[in-house]
Chains A and B, each alone.
Chain A
Amino acid sequence: MGSEVRFVEGEEIKADAVEDVVYRLCPMHIMRLEERIKELKKGEVLELQTDYEGALSDIPEWCRKTGNELLGVADTGEYFRFFIRKRVD
């Protein structure tokens, strides 16, 4: 814990891939995040969509541990859009 979540509008961030896990049960947000990040090139951005509020703590923590960068979170009111940049080193 302790990772800060930066809320953004979302429009300013261009994602290279989108993963929709809205209404999928926990822990699908982390499982799909791990799978999809592996498929991206270094420095590319994944947009992960989920309605799971626990993701607000899980995903920053996952990024901190794996060295990927959480660019920000947009709240649509129905679900969250997490923007994660794959680590470059």
Chain B
Amino acid sequence: MLRVYLDHMATTPVAREVLAEMLPYLESRYGNPSRPYDLGAEAREAVERARERVARLINASPSEIIFTSSGAEANNLAVRGLAEAQKGRGRHLVTSAIEHHSTLNAFRSLQKRGYVVNFLPVTHAGEVLPERVEEALTPATTLVSVMLANYEVGTLQALREIAEIAHDRGVLVHTDAVAAAGNIPVDVEKLGVDALSISSHTMYGPKGAGALYLREGLRIVPLIYSGVQEEGRRGGTENVPAIAGFGRACELAMESLDRVERVCWLRDKLIEGVLEIEGVELTGHVERRLPNHASFIVEGVDGEALMLALSFEGIYMGNGTACISQVLRASPVLLAMGYPAERAQCSAIFTLGRETTKREIEYVLSKLPGVVDKLRRISPLWRK
């Protein structure tokens, strides 16, 4: 049976080149980067080489990169660290209703500490309208955080416009670029953002490494207290193998951006085929979406049931936020986009990778109608 992995928003395989970069730091080069002797120095060099590579991917300076354990930690550090560093100026914050849980829950934690947070609504296509951001700003606003691309529906946000609006009012801007980085060009200068989160394991790097870009000169309150690591901004001995792999993954991501048309073509082929099934709707923006992202509502078919049924055919896809409640099954992102709960639980997400082939897409299209039909026959959600 063919194995077709189309859940690249959840995670990606580790590229062979990435693994090769990591192995020496799991074997003989095990030194602590904080040590002055040669074993420490070679580990430190690996971390600094990775910092340069990560910075290059997003057009930043190496000193503007803070390594973290994940994209989620980078989001937490940005939201909590920037809000706390600016609390003397104000305690009002702005974000969107469709952010990743790591962002939403970081903001909720600040609400408990006396901050006022606006969770902005989105359009039916999942867009955060820049004018909504403008309306939300007050003299007490210190931070706006809006994701660059949404994990569940692939919609790209007008970050540059949002950043311009916020900066006109002296408000800092953070973006979660975890879903975007490696799939589309991400340039901190062109976006005009002050902080940006990325993750290793969604771009063919290992799990356990992420990074926050923080514009030179900005202050941030750390989340993890220790000493000199990451210039006193994030404590804990560096995860050298994962960071080294992350750096190599960023280099590979830059190279792969030239080949994005192929992924886009396969994605469109998939969308075209899936939409031929009765009762299927594309979610997210038709054009302004990630090139590898195809997301649908398959009417009458519970997203999780579809995910499991397809896995028995060797097809791996996603059904929305990984940490969604088993009881409240509807996707919060789709609910925020205005879908009723019974449709929002029928989310099906296919995210392609660099290794995806035409044969694999054809295999998915050959299996999907039958699986959907089978599930609908036993579904209380399907009334035809």
Give the B-binding residues of A (Cβ under 8 A): 20-28, 31, 78
Contact = CB atoms under 8 A, between A and B. Distances in A.
16 contacts: A20-B219, A22-B85, A23-B81, A23-B85, A23-B220, A23-B221, A23-B233, A24-B233, A25-B222, A25-B226, A25-B228, A25-B232, A25-B233, A26-B232, A27-B228, A78-B88
B235 A25 contact: yes
Contacts of A20: 217, 219
B225 interface: yes
A74 B227 CA distance: 25
Contacts of B232: 21, 24-26, 28
A28 B217 contact: no
State which size class the interface on B falls in.
10 to 19
Contacts of A24: 231-233
A29 to B, nearest CB: 9
Nearest to B85: A23
Contacts of B220: 23
Nearest to A29: B232
Contacts of A31: 228
Complex A-B, nearest 10 residue pairs according to Cβ-Cβ distance, in ascending order:
A24-B232, A28-B232, A25-B232, A23-B221, A22-B219, A23-B219, A78-B88, A25-B227, A23-B85, A25-B222
Nearest to A22: B219
B231 A28 contact: yes
Interface of B: 81, 85, 88, 217, 219-222, 225-228, 231-233, 235
Contacts of B85: 22-23
A22 B221 CA distance: 9
Nearest to A50: B232
B368 to A, nearest CB: 51
A31 B228 CA distance: 9
Contacts of B226: 25
A27 B88 CA distance: 25
Given A23-B222, A25-B226, A31-B228, 14 more contacts: A21-B232, A22-B85, A23-B85, A23-B220, A24-B232, A25-B235, A26-B227, A26-B232, A27-B227, A27-B228, A28-B228, A28-B231, A28-B232, A78-B88
- Taking each of A21, A24, A25, which has the highest tally of chain B beta carbons within 10 Å of its own beta carbon? A25
A78 B222 CA distance: 16
Nearest to A26: B227
Contacts of A23: 81, 85, 219-222, 233
- Taking each of B85, B88, B219, B220, which has the highest tally of chain A beta carbons within 10 Å of its own beta carbon? B219
- Taking each of A20, A22, A23, which has the highest tally of chain B beta carbons within 10 Å of its own beta carbon? A23
Contacts of A78: 88
A15 B81 CA distance: 28
Contacts of B88: 78
Contacts of A22: 85, 219
A78 B226 CA distance: 21
Contacts of B225: 25
